[in-house]
Amino acid sequence: MRQNLLSRERLNRLLKVLEREGGTCSLRRLWRNFSIWGWEVEQAEEAGWVSISERKPTVGRPSRVATKLSENISAKLPPPSSTIPKEMSIRHWRFALESTSVGPRRGGFGFGLSTATRAYLIAFPYAKSRAGAAASASRLLKKPMIRAAMRWFFASDLGTMDEEMPKTPSAIYARIAELRERRERARRAWADGF
């Protein structure tokens, strides 16, 4: 799931729809007919591409209307969608957490499910087969965000469980390095005190 940030592609789509509609369109029509969310229009207004006003008809309720502004040189272009970091879904977060906390289960002859497969079956309970769950778990373990989240959960001795997990793998690794450095400084200060 992506963060609620307006991308350059979505801005271009909004501007094309407004141009096709004659320069103005209600936010309700944009949402219902063109799947353009209100937060996208509001962020386009903050960047200086459209203006939002309220239209008050003589009969009925007022509506918010987006109007395309003429070419504005000072308007800021939003980043492309490929540069906006993706957030981890709640099921992927649960898979990463379970794969760090579940141990392998042994069967009657010593054979059983791997830790990743068991974690996948916990996070995705409607998996059709164990073989499919094992393949999907293997694919998930290769994703950088899952690996970073597992590293975050493994670093619970650093106090990571007390704070919110960062949203990107690089931010997770940077925060873990910060916490390790702080712990080493505290350990050295404690050793120098004796």
- Note whether 127 and 121 are within 8 A (CB): yes
2 within a domain of the structure (yes/no): no
157 within a domain of the structure (yes/no): yes
Do residues 98 and 187 share a domain? yes
In tens, the pLDDT along 22-78 reads: 889 999 999 999 999 989 999 999 888 898 999 888 888 888 999 988 776 677 788
169 within a domain of the structure (yes/no): yes
Looking at the structure of the chain, the number of domains it has is: 2
Host domain of residue 136: 90-193
Do residues 30 and 67 share a domain? yes
- Using the 3D structure, point to which of 65, 83, 101 is the last residue of a domain: 83
Does the pLDDT at position 159 exceed 50? Answer: yes
pLDDT: which is higher, 175 or 29: 29
162 within a domain of the structure (yes/no): yes
Do residues 63 and 116 share a domain? no
Do residues 186 and 96 share a domain? yes
